Chain A
Amino acid sequence: MGYIIIQLVLMVGLAPLINGIIKKVKAFSQKRKGAPILQMYYDIGKLLKKEMVVSETSSWIYKAAPYVVFGSTAAAALLVPAVTNAGGLNAAFSGGDVLVLLYTLALGRFFLMLAGLDTGSTFGGMGSSREGMISSLMEPSILIGLFTLGLASGSLSIKMIMSESLSKVCPIADPVYIIIFFVLVIVLLAETCRIPVDDPATHLELTMVHEAMILEYSGRQLALMELAAAVKQLILMTLIVNIFFPITAVLPAGVPGVAIMIILYIVRIVLLAVVIGVVEVCIVKLRFFSIPNLAALSFILAIIGFVNYFVIGR
């Protein structure tokens, strides 16, 4: 039970920080001072108190969407254990595996896209249609990637996958793992609307996807939406760090061990965030219709990883 609380707190509490770090990295690269790392916490706090402007066109879908999106994303967060010692793994919500994770996120996305269409604003429609295309293009590669990992660990449940890579000395050295790692990174960038797929920083209608869908939102609804997006991003990052860069070192049992574990987890996440920030700095945003090439790349990678698994993996 304690672990579940920790998990929830970690996921929801840590999520805004990531954006802060990434923004900071970018600002640094541009010789700017940039917003404080905790800026997003301030924003959310502010938004929660602000008045909402609700479009008269919209229906209950629009009002329900933030809660459904947040709820489903948080539930998905419970599926991905952040603390990967024995207790943490067991405490992870056992009612689902990788597929449930994907389709729970899909529930959130479904409502997000509906909310985009609900206000009757052109931006919303545009955003949802683009989101739809990107997500559906990414779906096969993420699935094959996770399947391959599942095959390597003999089960599709995230817990088993993670413990499998715990049992390895250095999973990222395994060719299969390294390929799938790249797949998941591409998926991460695409799913969380980062450069090169989307630029969360702009509100230029030519580029925006996620921002377009939630354009009409304000106040607490916007806060929930933003938070949910951050949590989703954190989920994918957690998958990456815990599968490819597990803590294989032996730790003291009990509270101190867990504490160390949590700290190490945060450290790894922060490092990954920095990496993502660097990536975002180094590459430019793709033309929207060259995103399929990216998807194709990830798909091919995933297939190669899969084949690799069957050729050398066993």
Chain B
Amino acid sequence: MSLSDNEFIFTLSILLLLAGAIAAIVFSRKHKAANIISNCFCIGASALGAVSVIRHLLDGGGIKQVFTFTSNIPLIEISLRYDNLSSYFLLILFVLTFAVSIYSIGYISHYYGKRAVGVFNFLYCSFILSMMMVMLAGNLITFFIAWELMSVTSYFLVVFEHEKSENVKAGTVYIIMTHLGAAFIMAALMIMYALTGESMIIGSNGLFADIPEAFKNLCFIFFILGFGTKAGIIPFHIWLPKAHPAASSNISALMSGFMIKTAIYGILRFTLGCFGVSEVWWGTTILVLGIIAAVLGVAYALMEHNIKRLLAYHSIENIGIIFIGLGIGFLALSKGNSFVAGIAIAAALFHTMNHALFKGGLFLGAGSIQYSTNTKDIEQLGGLIKKMPLTAIFMLCFSLAISAIVPFNGFVSEWLTYQSIFAFLSEGSLGMDLIIILSAAALAFAGALAAVCFVKLFGISFLGLPRSESAKAAKEVPVTMLSGMGILAALCLAFGLFPRLVLKVIAAVTSEIAGLSLLENISNSTIPICSGISIGNNRMSMAALLVVIVVLVVAAIIGVRLTGGKGRSRGFGTWDCGFVEINERMQYTATGFSKPIRIVFRLLYRPYRKLTVKGEIPEYFPDKMEYKVGTVSIFEKYIYDVIIRWLQRFSRRVKYTVQTGSIHMYLSYILVTVIALMLYGRLF
């Protein structure tokens, strides 16, 4: 029990989180104190935890037991332990939590005196704790308990601002969806237990691998349904764009940055870790789901003008990208191609980390915008780059990273995914080249659309003229919030420039879950300080590229100075074609910006426009006109609404045909049952 001892540090961080939760309740009278103290606890906890898991991974990993509790109720046994896979995801969680908690210190200040900050922070800490527990769950029941706790705590965080009824609705949709998913997961876990009698999932002694194929497939379907709902893959995504805007931004950062990744963890843990991949169609399914999610996610994101809903749809897209990586990996494994599998799964894991970083950052940025302009609608923003320069820079970094543009980390993971696809194709042994190349195309398309979408987000909200008073009055956010975002931005750049830092860690994971050797395949001695990756003849070194670009830019500056001398420049208004001076109403709106794409894909968006004219004789003397354009979510309209309506009608019918209120009817039920049962007794 010393600080050199990983488990000890780890336990310490858990205890710190608990302390944070308790402190939040204890100090709930004093909002400021409660907030600062519990967030400090979270910061400390995540720092310690990060240290311990990094050390664990670099020491070569293995399984470490943290905590065990065996209740004397049968089957109820809590076992917390972690191996490399868990510690990698925990690392993501800790990094994210570290930044977000720093951010929260400043961000939550706008709750002071308005809301129960103590309760909020209590939920915040327990949410982090529950996510940790999901990663640490050593056996089936612990996993399920942690999973449900995570859902419940996040539900309460989503509905925390419960004056707005849409938040409550969003929360309801969220928890119902996630609980239905959980039911499938539970069924799968039950089947696993019933068939093997084994309940350890971390360090299970390989019993799950002997489950008959049919049941493995059944479990796989259940897992895809259950975890897919949590991950928000289409068509189970509808809760996601509702829940994320409802939650306050630091929570959405955690939810989108990490919570939906627990699904990735679950899939890896149960299918790869417990069963091992044997069926080809598993990989195909995941791949196809990934393609759909990637393309449709970004496509829907383009149509959104509420920053947080836009980001939520981008989470769907990125989950899709991760799924593409996983799918390729699973396919490769089922074909016994460990080289490709290693790269693909590494790419998926890497993208998980990256998405946590930049999406977390983006949500924090959205939070800052909301904090200083208290609006989420980018049509109300504009010109913020002058009011909040640092936030703008960070947001720019995140936008570049999520659009997979060099030299940020998003590009590296997508590059790895492309490489795995390419390597798999060049093996070319299997008949599904088309799906695979389509996944490459989907990646490219999604990347390009994402770039457009973030040009829209950044351009409309930060550039140009402010479109509303609140945007005019915006001020830079407090330093804690800035530093929270700054850390993430710096990490985005760092992991882009030196990806091998992360890949070293990931190698431990891939070698553990599927016995895949990674570093040998990607390492490259010729390119300096673990900056570059080279697979076969394909090389990539963001650091070098950045250097080149910088050199060229400097060269350009010098060249221009030499040829053109010291340039004179004059400030003047934007060209207004000689009419009245440009004002904010004349600017291109986000709606207009995305219109071409809306028109091109009208089949998908079902755009509608409504012009309502008010006035006593509207057609001749209109007082007021309302013009509304929008798009329809086909999934909600044609799947969910239908199902829900059907269910409710069915329920009402049953209710009023069974519970008619007529006592004679009730008595006749009894008589009929008697007769039926007497028949049963006579016949059987």
Asked whether the complex places CB atoms of A and B closer than 8 A, the reply is yes
Which residue numbers of A lie inside 8 Å of B, CB to CB? 45, 48-49, 51-61, 67-68, 70-72, 74-75, 78, 93-97, 99-100, 102-104, 106-107, 109-110, 113-114, 116-122, 124-126, 128-130, 132-133, 135-137, 139-140, 142-144, 147, 150-151, 154-157, 159-160, 215-216, 219-220, 223-224, 288-289, 292, 299, 303, 306-307, 310, 314
**Which residues of B come within 8 Å of A, CB atoms?**
382-383, 385-386, 400, 403-406, 411, 415, 418-419, 422, 425-426, 428, 433-434, 437, 440-445, 447-449, 451-452, 455-456, 458-460, 462-465, 526-527, 532, 536-542, 544-545, 548-550, 552-553, 556-557, 560, 563-565, 567-575, 582, 584, 586-588, 592-597, 599-600
A23 to B535, CA, bound (A): 43
| A151 and B463 contact, CB distance less than 8 A | no
Question: Which of A95, A144, A292, A307 lies in contact with B541, CB distance below 8 A?
Answer: A95
A307 / chain B contacts, CB cutoff of 8 Å: 434
Distance (Å) between the CB of A21 and the closest chain B CB?
Answer: 23
Knowing A49-B564, A125-B588 touch, does A114 contact B539 (C-beta < 8 A)? no
Other contacts beyond A120-B463, A121-B587, A147-B440: 4, CB < 8 A: A95-B532, A120-B574, A144-B437, A292-B600
The distance from the CB of B18 to the nearest CB of chain A, in whole angstroms, is 44
Number of A-B contacts (CB under 8 A): 268
Question: Which 7 residue pairs across A and B have the least CB separation, nearest first?
Answer: A125-B588, A117-B459, A136-B448, A48-B564, A132-B452, A95-B544, A71-B553
With the chains together, A249 CA to B26 CA distance in Å?
83
Asked if B428 and A310 sit within 8 Å, CB to CB, the answer is yes
Query: Can you identify 20 A-B contacts, CB atoms within 8 angstroms?
Result: A56-B572, A70-B556, A71-B552, A74-B552, A75-B549, A95-B539, A95-B541, A96-B540, A96-B541, A100-B540, A103-B406, A107-B406, A110-B403, A120-B464, A120-B582, A122-B587, A124-B588, A136-B445, A156-B538, A307-B434
Q: Take A51-B569, A125-B592, A144-B437 as given contacts and tell me if A155 and B538 are in contact as well, using a CB distance cutoff of 8 Å.
A: yes
| Contact, CB under 8 Å: B455 / A104 | no
Known: A110-B400, A139-B445. A55 touches B573 (CB 8 A): yes
Q: Which of B447, B552, B574 has the most CB of A within 10 A?
A: B574
- Give, as a whole number of angstroms, the nearest-CB distance from A159 to chain B: 8
The CA of A74 and the CA of B548, in the complex, are separated in Å by: 9
Please indicate the chain B residues that have their CB under 8 angstroms from the CB of A116 in the complex: 459
Instruction: Report the minimal beta-carbon distance from B380 to chain A, rounded to whole angstroms.
Output: 15
User: With A113-B459, A119-B574 in contact, do A129 and B588 touch (Cβ < 8 Å)?
Assistant: yes
A118 x B573 contact (CB < 8 A): no
Main secondary structure on B side of the interface with A:
helix
On whether A150 and B422 interact (CB within 8 A), knowing A56-B571, A122-B588, the answer reads: yes
A200-B679 Cα distance, complex, nearest whole Å: 88
B552–A75 contact, CB under 8 A? Answer: yes
Which of B537, B541, B545, B565 has a CB less than 8 Å from the CB of A49? B565
A94 → B minimal CB distance (Å): 6
In the bound complex, residues from chain B placing their C-beta under 8 Å from that of A124 are 588
Q: CA–CA, A206 to B109, complex, Å?
A: 49
**Distance, CA A150 to CA B422, complexed state (A):** 8
User: Contact at A61–B385, with CB atoms within 8 Å?
Assistant: yes
Asked if B545 contacts A96 (CB within 8 A), the reply is: yes
Main secondary structure of the interface of A (DSSP, over half): helix
Task: Report which residue of A103, A118, A220 has the largest number of chain B beta carbons within 10 angstroms of its beta carbon.
Answer: A103
CA gap between A241 and B192 in the complex, in Å:
59
- Bound-complex Cα distance A94 to B544 (A): 9
A132 to B449, alpha carbons, bound, how many Å? 8
Cβ contacts under 8 Å, A96 to chain B: 539-541, 545
Chain B residues closer than 8 Å to A49, beta-carbon distance: 563-565
Q: Decide if A129 touches B595 in the complex (CB within 8 Å).
A: yes
User: Is B553 a contact partner of A143 (Cβ separation < 8 A)?
Assistant: no
B584 → A minimal CB distance (Å): 7
What residues on B are CB-neighbors of A125 within 8 Å?
459, 587-588, 592-593
Asked if A289 contacts B599 (CB within 8 A), the reply is yes
Residues in B neighbouring A54, C-beta threshold 8 A? 569-572
Contact B415 A75 (CB under 8 A): no
The answer to whether A110 and B574 touch across the interface, beta carbons within 8 angstroms, is no
> B552: which A residues are within 8 A, CB to CB?
70-71, 74-75
Chain B residues whose C-beta falls within 8 Å of the C-beta of A58 in the assembled complex: 463, 574
Complex CA gap A53/B575 in Å reads: 10
Give A110 to B433 CA distance when docked, in angstroms.
31
**Chain B nearest Cβ from A54, distance in angstroms:** 5
Q: In the complex, which of the residues A52, A71, A126, A299 has the most CB atoms of chain B within 10 Å of its own CB atom? A: A71
Instruction: Report chain A residues within 8 Å CB of B441.
Output: 140, 143-144, 299
Chain B residue with Cβ nearest A72: B549
CA distance A159 to B385 in the complex (A): 41
Residues of A within 8 A of B386 (CB): 59
B406 x A289 contact (CB < 8 A): no
| CB-based contact B545/A95 at 8 Å | yes
Q: Tell me how far the C-beta of B187 lies from the nearest C-beta in chain A, rounded to whole angstroms.
A: 39
Q: Are B557 and A67 in contact (CB-based, < 8 A)?
A: yes
Q: Is the CB of A219 within 8 A of B600?
A: no
- Contact among A74, A109, A129 for B594, CB-based, below 8 A: A129
Q: Which residues of B contact A219 (CB under 8 A)?
A: 564, 567, 569
Q: Is the CB of B447 within 8 A of A139?
A: yes
Q: How far is the CA of A130 from the CA of B460 in the complex (A)?
A: 15
When the two chains form the complex, which single residue of A57, A117, A122, A136 contacts B460, counting CB atoms closer than 8 Å? Answer: A117
Contact check, B588 vs A117: say whether CB atoms are below 8 A apart: yes
Q: Which residues of B contact A70 (CB under 8 A)?
A: 552-553, 556
Contact in complex: A151, B425 (CB < 8 Å): yes
Contacts of A120 in B (CB 8 A): 382-383, 463-465, 574, 582, 584, 586-587
The smallest beta-carbon distance between A195 and chain B, in angstroms, is: 19
Q: For A57, what are the chain B residues with a Cβ–Cβ distance below 8 Å? A: 383, 464-465, 573-574, 582
- Known contacts A71-B549, A151-B426, A289-B600; A99/B418 CB under 8 A: yes
B544 to chain A, nearest CB (A): 4
Contact B538 A118, beta carbon cutoff 8 Å: no
User: Would A114 and B463 count as touching, CB distance under 8 A?
Assistant: yes
- Asked if A118 and B463 make an inter-chain contact with CB atoms under 8 angstroms apart, the answer reads yes
Most buried by A among B455, B544, B550: B455
Q: Please state if B582 and A51 are interface contacts (CB–CB under 8 Å).
A: no
The answer on a CB contact under 8 Å between A129 and B570 is: no
Contact A100 B437 (CB under 8 A): no
**What is the distance, in angstroms, from A125's C-beta to the closest C-beta of chain B?**
2
Take A117-B460, A121-B575 as given contacts and tell me if A100 and B415 are in contact as well, using a CB distance cutoff of 8 Å: yes
Residue with the highest number of chain A CB atoms closer than 10 Å, among B463, B526, B539, B593: B463
Given A71-B556, A104-B545, A216-B574, check contact A132 B400 (CB 8 Å): no
Partner pick for A156 among B422, B526, B567, CB 8 A cutoff: B422
Please indicate the chain A residues that have their CB under 8 angstroms from the CB of B463 in the complex.
58-59, 61, 114, 117-118, 120
Partner of B539, one of A133, A136, A157: A157
Q: From A104, which residue of chain B is reached at the shortest CB distance?
A: B406
Q: What's the least CB distance linking B381 to chain A, in Å?
A: 12
Bound CA span A91–B84, Å: 41
Contact partner, A53, options B565, B569, B593, B600, Cβ 8 Å:
B569
Residue in A closest to B567 when the chains form the complex, CB atoms? A220
A231 to B382, CA, bound (A): 33
Contacts of A95 in B (CB 8 A): 527, 532, 539-542, 544-545, 548
Contact status B550-A71, CB under 8 Å = yes
A61 to B568, CA, bound (A): 19
Contact among A71, A78, A103, A139 with B405 in the assembled complex (CB-CB below 8 Å): A103
Contacts of A150 in B (CB 8 A): 422
Query: Smallest Cβ distance from B480 to chain A, in angstroms?
Result: 25
Residues of A within 8 A of B594 (CB): 129
User: B440 is contacted by which of A48, A144, A159 (Cβ under 8 Å)?
Assistant: A144
With A71-B550, A117-B455 in contact, do A100 and B406 touch (Cβ < 8 Å)? yes
Set of chain A residues within 8 Å of B451, measured between Cβ atoms? 106, 109-110, 132, 135-136
- Taking the nearest CB of chain B, how far is it from the CB of A130, in angstroms? 6
Taking CB as reference atom, which chain A residue is nearest B565? A49
Min distance, Cβ A165 to any Cβ of chain B, angstroms? 15
Residue of A nearest to B455 (CB): A113
